[in-house]
Amino acid sequence: MILLAALAAGLLTGWGWARWQRRPYQPPQLRSVWLVVVGFLPQVLVAYVPVTRTLVPPQLAAASLILSLVFFLAFVWINRRLPGMPILMIGLLLNLAVIVANGGWMPISPELASRLTGEDVLRYEAIGDRFDQKDILLRPEDMRLGLLADRLMLPAWSPYQVAFSAGDVLIAAGVFWLLTNPSAKDSPS
């Protein structure tokens, strides 16, 4: 959700900035966009499509989520000279580190998960169980690289509640910067 918000805000801000300067909006010239599509497919299959989500064994699902991040990193590396891409790369690397360190899943504490659901998740789930699309329930003391886990939430007044990581914030910032930066129209060398 935070990434979609960054995409929308970046496009609107970039378009508004271009209008302000009385020029057409030029989206960045991205290379190898197919890597994003290929990288997103495993996430769709193991996290968002209910039928395939239940059919894919947990170890294969975890490995495919890691592979997905590797494809995204390859795409960012190819386009690394564009504004915002270094920030995006750091965010992806932080997420990859915490996910690999925790068996292929993004850790989330039962307390934060309970704040998302409004109920005590431990009544229905056990520590170590998969939670939501790509998370795993772990106590903070059991998390590896816990500072990089899904630890942040939108303010309570927000109509949509979601947990996210520091890496997610950097990914969103990189995407926003890429889409708003006036020099983003320059093609990479």
Q: Residue 39 belongs to what domain range? A: 30-179
pLDDT at 187: 41
Is the pLDDT at 51 greater than 60, yes or no? yes
Confidence at 182, pLDDT banded by 50, 70, 90: low
If you average pLDDT over every residue of the chain, what do you get? 91
Question: Is the residue at 131 inside a domain?
Answer: yes
Question: Is the residue at 10 inside a domain?
Answer: no
Contact criterion met (CB below 8 Å) for 96 and 68? no
Question: Is the residue at 45 inside a domain?
Answer: yes
pLDDT at 2: 84
Question: Is the residue at 25 inside a domain?
Answer: no
Claim: this prediction has a pTM higher than 0.85: yes
Burial of 57 (0-12, 13-18, 19+ CB in 10 A): exposed
Question: Is the residue at 67 inside a domain?
Answer: yes
Question: Is the residue at 160 inside a domain?
Answer: yes
Question: Is the residue at 97 inside a domain?
Answer: yes
Provide the CB-side half-sphere exposure for 147 (13 A, CA).
Answer: 0
Kindly state the tokens that stand for 176: 């926003």
Highest mean pLDDT among 2-6, 51-55, 105-109, 119-123: 105-109
Question: Is the residue at 167 inside a domain?
Answer: yes
Is the pLDDT at 144 greater than 70, yes or no? yes
How many domains does the chain fold into?
Answer: 1
Give mean pLDDT, residues 27-49.
Answer: 93
